[in-house]
Every structure is written in structure tokens, then in C-alpha cells.
């Protein structure tokens, strides 16, 4: 999502790790193009030895697995918040512990996707 000249400037100044934003737009919106993410991460790797974390657009085990195949870290935020909000506002009026349980299930599923990645 960043032009090559800007990527070069970023990697020259970066310390610790590179955070790659995989989806253009507001967090939690848009569709993740995992082929494009893999290409972009490969191009960044040519310019730096720093680990690359990828976030934005990772919503489930399948997308986490695809990103884990090319990245050093998978970052999940909006999917977790959305799951908790959806459960909190459901017709069943779930208790707080049930909402947390739903969030844990989502994260376990995403973790399983990361662990199943071929990388």
C-alpha cells in the first residue's frame, strides 16, 4: 500500500520491525488480497533484514494462515473487537464471560491458521 520510494525511506529509518498495512482504508474495512501482500512483503524483504509484521484485513484463520506464510508476525485487531461487539449486542444478551469466550475462540482459530501456515 506504499510506493517503492517511500518504502526505501521507511526501511532506512526503521528499527525493530516493519509494520505493513495490508488493506487500504479504515481499519477493519476492505478485502485482503493475500497475493498482493505476499508480493509486497517480498519486495520489502529485498530492502531490509528487519522482521515484517502484517496487519489490517486479517479476519479469520484462512487469512491469518495466508499472511503467516510470508510475514514474520500477523496482527489482528478489528476482527477481535468486531466479534466482541457483535456478541455484546446479540439478542441473547450474553454475559461478559461469554463475550470473552467468543473472543478467545476467534483468537484460537486465528492462531491455528497461523500455525498451519506452510512457512
pLDDT of 57-76, one tens digit each? 898 999 999 999 999 999 99
- Please tell me the total count of domains within the chain: 1
d(C-alpha 84, C-alpha 78), whole Å: 10
Residue 32 domain boundaries: 4-115
* Sheet of 52-55, strands arranged across: 18-21, 52-55, 73-75
When the pLDDT of each residue in the chain is averaged and rounded to a whole number, the result is: 86
What percent of the chain shows pLDDT beyond 70?
Answer: 89
d(C-alpha 50, C-alpha 72), whole Å: 9
DSSP state of 32: -
78-116: pLDDT as tens digits? 888 888 888 777 766 667 777 788 888 888 998 999 998
CATH of the domain at 59: 3.20.20.70
Residue 14 reports pLDDT greater than 70: yes
Amino acid at each position: 500500500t506504499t510506493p517503492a520510494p517511500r518504502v526505501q525511506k521507511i526501511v532506512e529509518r526503521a528499527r525493530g520491525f516493519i509494520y505493513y498495512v495490508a488493506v487500504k482504508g479504515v481499519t477493519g474495512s476492505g478485502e485482503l488480497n493475500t497475493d498482493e501482500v505476499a508480493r509486497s512483503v517480498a519486495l520489502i524483504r529485498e530492502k531490509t533484514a528487519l522482521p515484517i509484521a502484517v496487519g489490517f484485513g486479517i479476519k479469520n484463520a484462512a487469512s491469518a494462515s495466508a499472511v503467516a506464510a510470508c510475514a514474520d508476525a500477523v496482527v489482528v485487531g478489528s476482527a477481535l473487537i468486531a466479534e466482541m461487539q457483535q456478541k455484546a449486542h446479540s439478542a441473547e444478551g450474553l454475559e461478559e464471560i461469554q463475550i470473552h469466550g467468543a473472543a478467545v475462540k476467534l483468537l484460537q482459530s486465528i492462531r491455528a491458521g497461523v500455525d498451519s501456515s506452510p512457512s
